[in-house]
Every structure is written in C-alpha cells, then in structure tokens.
Amino acid sequence: MRLKPGLACVDTAAMRTVRVFLLCLTVSSTDNQTHGHRSQPKPPATPGATWQAVQPAVLKQKIRNGTLAMGLNLPAASIERLVDYLALLNKWNRAYNLTAVRDPEQMVYRHILDSLSVIPYLHGRRVLDIGTGAGLPGIPLAVACPEREFLLLDSNAKKIRFVAQAIATLQLPNAQAILGRAEKLETVEKFDTLISRALGGIADMLALSAHLCSPGGRFVAMKGVYPQEELSALPPGYEVLAVEALQVPGLDAKRHAVIISAKASGLPEDKN
C-alpha cells in the first residue's frame, strides 16, 4: 500500500478498540453528571465553502457569468480547463500552501476572473509572467488566449513544480514553466508583454526585466489601488501609456493595470 507523505500505517483493529474504550468513558462521564452546566457545543467551522461542498457545475457557471460580464466569450472547453485548474490548485494547496484563498468560489473571482481582466492589455505574441507563483495570471491567460505563448517564471521551486504539473494536466502547449529569476533569465527571443501580479514595486519590475522586453514591448503591472507613489518613482526612460481600472465581477477591491513602455523603443502597431 502506498502512503501519502507524512502518513503512517495504523493498526485498524487497535484503533477500533481505542474508540470503543473512549466512547464508554464519554457515556459514563455524561451519565454521572448531576450538577453543573453541560459543556457547550463547539462553534461551527469557519464559514466559507469547501471544495467538496461546491459542485463543478456551479464554478463553471460563475466563470461563464463572470467572463461574459467582462466581454469574454470563452468556449466550454476553456471553462472546463479553468475549473480543472482550480481543482488541481485546491489539491496541491493542502501540502504546498500555494494560496491563502481556500474558498473555491472566491478562487473564481480572486484568481480566475482577476487574471483574465488584463486580456485587453496584452500586446504581441510572447508573454512573460514574472513571479507567477501558483500560475497567476499566466495559466488562466494561457487557457483563454491559445494564440499567444506564455512563459511562467518564478524562483520558488515548489510553486514551479505545481505550475509545470498544471500545464501538463491541462494540456497547454502554449505555456511553459521556468524556475529562475527575471534578472538572470536569458532568452534568444524577447517578450512583447511582461506582466506581473505579485512581484512588488513597478520600479523593481522594470529594473529586473528590462533586458527581456522586445522593441516596442509593454510592461503590465497588476495593482490594487491606484499606485500614485509608484508612478511618481518611475525611472527615466519609461512612459506610462495608461492606468486602467479593472472591473472584476465578484470583487469589491479596487484593481488597476498599469501599462508602461520604454520611451526609446516606440510602439509598433499591434497585429494581434
């Protein structure tokens, strides 16, 4: 019998004996209570849906409704893949702590729809997701944009193992997982869009990845509230093309996408 890591083989007969013994002790203790207050029942578990309590059909419908609200009409197969990704994320999350979000319905809003909200701001064919973590926004974008190529980069080995497994399981030929840091990455073909959802400051993103940007390429930094201080600290040689307020169904939090280009390169016409 194969065991999951951290589990030990247990003598089931001995465990049944222990359970019966403990049950007898509990009944005896309850019957002997003649005074005082009975112990109060424990409060229910922390609110929030568990994966087992949510039907995949419910998640599919939430993704369908959310993407349509954002003007995206994804095929059924793509929505199926996105639900499969969430199921895989939930499974690995138990051991690897890939995300603090545990509620599957919140995963739809905070992971899937939030990632897909930047599709209008992708530029060109090749996209680099810097600091992808559990594959966000790279995997949802790769599912929704099969015509583009995505490289998902992170320096955390366990997260990249998950991302590689997710890419293989979902059969995404347009996505690749790479273990490493942006400042040390070398590629023959540079990237048209460099995107980051959780890398840190905008200035850091530019400093670490400028050598990977193709002429006329764009940087897309996903942010929460309007990043006024970060924009004020933008290094010379770059210009902000736009700061777009993102409308993510199911999210009350403010979200923005900052689109930046290098001044010297200019922006060729986007044929995609």
Provide the pLDDT for residue 264: 63
55 confidence band (pLDDT: 50, 70, 90): confident
Structure confidence by residue, pLDDT tens digits, 151-177: 999 999 999 999 999 999 999 999 999
Pairing verdict, β 256-262 and 213-223: antiparallel
Residue 66 predicted with pLDDT over 90: yes
| SS3 of residue 34 by DSSP | coil
Q: Is residue 241 part of a domain?
A: yes
- What is the span of the domain harbouring residue 169? 51-262
What's the confidence (pLDDT) of residue 104? 87
The answer to whether the peptide bond before residue 137 is cis (omega within 30 degrees of 0) is: yes
Indicate whether 163 belongs to any domain. yes
Query: Is 26 within the bounds of a domain?
Result: no
Q: Taking residues 192-210, what's their average pLDDT?
A: 93
Q: Which CATH number do you get for residue 199?
A: 3.40.50.150
- The verdict on residue 40 lying in a domain is no
Q: What pLDDT is stored for residue 44 in this prediction? A: 33
- Evaluate whether residue 15 is within a structural domain: no
Look at residue 268 and give its three-state secondary structure: coil
pLDDT tens across 212-250, in order?
A: 999 999 999 999 999 999 999 999 999 999 999 999 999
Q: How far is the C-alpha of 198 from the C-alpha of 116, rounded, in Å?
A: 15
Residue 79: inside a domain, yes or no? yes
Q: Does any domain span residue 168?
A: yes
Mean pLDDT confidence for 110-114: 96
70 is a domain residue: yes
Q: 3-state SS string over 215-261?
A: EEEEEEEEECCCCHHHHHCCCCCEEEEEEEECCCCCCCCCCEEEEEE
Nearest to 180 by CA among 217, 142, 152, 149: 152
Considering its fold, how many domains does the chain have in total? 1
